[in-house]
Amino acid sequence: MNASHPSNTDNAVPGAPEKAPTGIAGFDHITGGGLPRGRTTLLLGGPGSGKTVFALEFLVHGARSFEEPGIFVAFEERSTRILANAHSFGWNLPELQRERLSFVDAQPVSDLVQSGSFDLNGMLAALQAMIESTGARRIVFDALDIVLALLADPAARRAETYRLHGWLLAHELTAVITAKAFGDDVFLMGQESFGFMQFMVDCAVILNHKVVLGVSQRNLRVQKYRGTNFDENELPFLIGKDGFEVSVAHPLERGSLTVSKERVSSGLERLDTMLGGGYYRGVSALITGSPGTAKTTLVGLFAQAACQRGERTLFVSFSSDPNEVIRDLASVGIRLARYVKNGHLRMVSARAISGSAELYLAHIMSLAKEHKARCLVIDPVSTWSSQSGTHLSAHRISERLINWSKVEGITLLCSCLVDERTVPSEDSTFRQISTLADTWIHLSYLVQSGERNRALSIIKSRGTAHSNQVRELILSNKGVTLADTYSAGGEVLMGTLRWQKEGAERAAAETAEVARKVKRVRLDAEEAELEVRLRALGVELKAKKTEKALLMRATATRRGETSRKRTRMEVLRGADVAEDKDGDRQ
């Protein structure tokens, strides 16, 4: 115990502790870079919770990416078995083993005879020799509880653990100690032997594996991490084909998302118009509806349109087999088979995937990556969440699905089954997806006069001016169309009623047209008649005017003559100037 915590003094400079990346997807993200370098991390978990895989991946990553030699001390399983088990991860361990990875088998002999107390100095001395020869920087003690259990009393366990910890610090090794813990409450185990370890170490990570409603769920939680901010939530993880994978809900840094203004067609022209041009590229759109409201048809249209543009598309069906989907969609004029053939479209039946919702998500993500998909269709997403166990996990998964597709720039279209009778807010998946989705289209039935007709409305569409009108969705073997609906007396008319109304309106329009024509003819006639009369009157007027002019001239002549005569007579009579009485005489 001659450790004077050299790492502490070295790292006394302000700033975050140095990190040793684990290479575990997601884990380095939530811890801001990995495990504390030169410190000890305690990894607790029940049987089969993935402790060994986590620890081994940490060593492999160090050896491979940072050329940090590592030592794996195996207390429980023989190293040959660990290597065999890890073979499937494609880490190429035998090659690493030759160069930078050493395994130490420290399983207690099965017929071990114990007499009196002992300590771990032997192991530390042996390891010290190994470190000197290999230059190891990382070390894993897998299942330390095995050897601690041999110690007689808690005091001895504590003393040996502190001895180990001091030794690790003195050598500035980045260490992972794994130990078993049962149940959710790790402190139960703490009473047993190493509760104090959780206080001693700089970082503690808890893995658990539980079965909720028959669905397996693996979760990881960082319990403590000195000097570092970390995600304190329990996060789902899975052990996939590349090893350990922690699912991070927010893999994106704020503002790192590139937002596109490009529109992608929904595959239905009038719907595009309703949406102001289509969906934005990279958005997540949701189509909800009760059974049979043509949700699959709408997502099929979208997939077809994407393939027509030459975009690689992944179609995940939770309800039917790919061939069934292709056949069913062909009946409404959506032909997907050729795109499957030319490789643009990949159809996957999610029924082929079994396991937790986490696995579904991981599977879909890896398929999308593999296919280099730009558009992703999930039909319906509600099946998936109902299989995922709890509402909470479904909630998280939908959140991650949407975040992931945004980061990848994938346009996501999900359909979601909604029972009209249930209040939507009771279904947390639905609520979650509908909150996160950028565009939400709802399909419903309108039952009226013994008919069921499909109605489409846009509930929301972020960043887009969109129609607030309900349209009727009509499916036929020629294709899919949207029709205007009629509202009469506050009621929306669809189907036959709409057709009747349309017919009635057509008839009324015809009648009105005829009446208009008749009236016009009559008016034309009247106009002509008036014009004739007008011309006749004009002629008459002219005649009168002429007559009047002639009369005036005649009068003037006569008056002139009379006046001349009178003047002549007056002159002749020699009379005074008399009153002019011409006017009276006229």
Partner 1 sequence: MTGCEKFSFRLYVAGDAWNSAQAVSNLGAVCREHLAGRHTIEVVDVFREPQRALADGIFMTPTLIKLAPLPAPVQVVGSLSQRLPLMQALGLQGVPE
Q: Which residues bind partner 1 (CB under 8 A)?
A: 104-106, 108-109, 112-123, 125-126, 128-130, 147, 150
- In single-letter form, the type of residue at position 352 comes to A
Residue 214 beta carbon to partner 1: minimum distance, rounded to whole angstroms:
42
Residue 109 beta carbon to partner 1: minimum distance, rounded to whole angstroms:
6
Residue 139 beta carbon to partner 1: minimum distance, rounded to whole angstroms:
14
Q: In terms of CB distance, is 114 or 435 closer to partner 1?
A: 114
- Residue among 177, 171, 226 nearest 202 (CA): 226
Angle at 330 between CA 329 and CA 334, to 5 degrees: 75
Residues 6+ apart with CB under 8 A from 555: 586
Q: What φ, ψ does residue 513 adopt, rounded to 5°? A: -65, -45
d(CA 35, CA 275): 48
Place of tokens 């370890």: 197
Q: In terms of CB distance, is 54 or 167 closer to partner 1?
A: 167
Q: In terms of CB distance, is 126 or 512 closer to partner 1?
A: 126
Residue 79 beta carbon to partner 1: minimum distance, rounded to whole angstroms:
12
Q: In terms of CB distance, is 112 or 213 closer to partner 1?
A: 112
Place of tokens 């409404």: 332
d(CA 237, CA 230): 16
Q: In terms of CB distance, is 167 or 244 closer to partner 1?
A: 167
The answer to whether the beta carbons of residues 375 and 264 sit under 8 Å apart is: yes
Q: In terms of CB distance, is 143 or 414 closer to partner 1?
A: 143
DSSP string, 201-251: SSEEEEEEEEEETTEEEEEEEEEEETT-----S-EEEEEETTEEEE--S--
E-assigned strands of 369-427? Answer: 375-379, 411-417
Residue 111 beta carbon to partner 1: minimum distance, rounded to whole angstroms:
8
d(CA 81, CA 85): 6
Residue 158 beta carbon to partner 1: minimum distance, rounded to whole angstroms:
15
Give 460's Cβ-side CA count (13 Å radius): 11
Residue 120 beta carbon to partner 1: minimum distance, rounded to whole angstroms:
6
Give 205's Cβ-side CA count (13 Å radius): 29
Residue 156 beta carbon to partner 1: minimum distance, rounded to whole angstroms:
10
Residue 116 beta carbon to partner 1: minimum distance, rounded to whole angstroms:
3
Q: What is the 3-state secondary structure (H, E, C) of 164-191?
A: HHHHHHHCCCEEEEEEECCCCCHHHHHH
Q: In terms of CB distance, is 124 or 433 closer to partner 1?
A: 124
Radius of gyration, CA atoms only, the chain: 46
Residue 125 beta carbon to partner 1: minimum distance, rounded to whole angstroms:
4
Q: In terms of CB distance, is 159 or 367 closer to partner 1?
A: 159
Q: In terms of CB distance, is 118 or 182 closer to partner 1?
A: 118
Question: Distances from the Cα of 173 to the Cαs of 24, 34, 58, 168, 533, in angstroms?
Answer: 19, 14, 13, 5, 119
Residue 144 beta carbon to partner 1: minimum distance, rounded to whole angstroms:
11
Identify the bridge partners of residue 219 per DSSP, sorted by sequence position.
208, 236
Q: What φ, ψ does residue 290 adopt, rounded to 5°? A: -80, 175
- Produce one character per residue of 372-403: b if its CB has 16 or more CB atoms within 10 Å, e if not: ebbbbbbbbbbbbbbbbbebebbbbbbbbbbb
The structure tokens listed for 527 are 């106009």
The answer to whether the beta carbons of residues 167 and 124 sit under 8 Å apart is: yes
d(CA 173, CA 37): 7
Identify the bridge partners of residue 416 per DSSP, sorted by sequence position.
288
Element holding 439 (H helix, E strand): strand 439-448
Q: In terms of CB distance, is 109 or 213 closer to partner 1?
A: 109
Residue 191 beta carbon to partner 1: minimum distance, rounded to whole angstroms:
24
Maximum CA extent, the chain: 189
Q: In terms of CB distance, is 126 or 549 closer to partner 1?
A: 126
Q: In terms of CB distance, is 126 or 556 closer to partner 1?
A: 126
Residue 126 beta carbon to partner 1: minimum distance, rounded to whole angstroms:
4
DSSP string, 280-313: ETT-EEEEEESTTSSHHHHHHHHHHHHHHTT--E
Q: In terms of CB distance, is 179 or 239 closer to partner 1?
A: 179
Q: In terms of CB distance, is 128 or 366 closer to partner 1?
A: 128
Residue 93 beta carbon to partner 1: minimum distance, rounded to whole angstroms:
21
d(CA 354, CA 269): 37
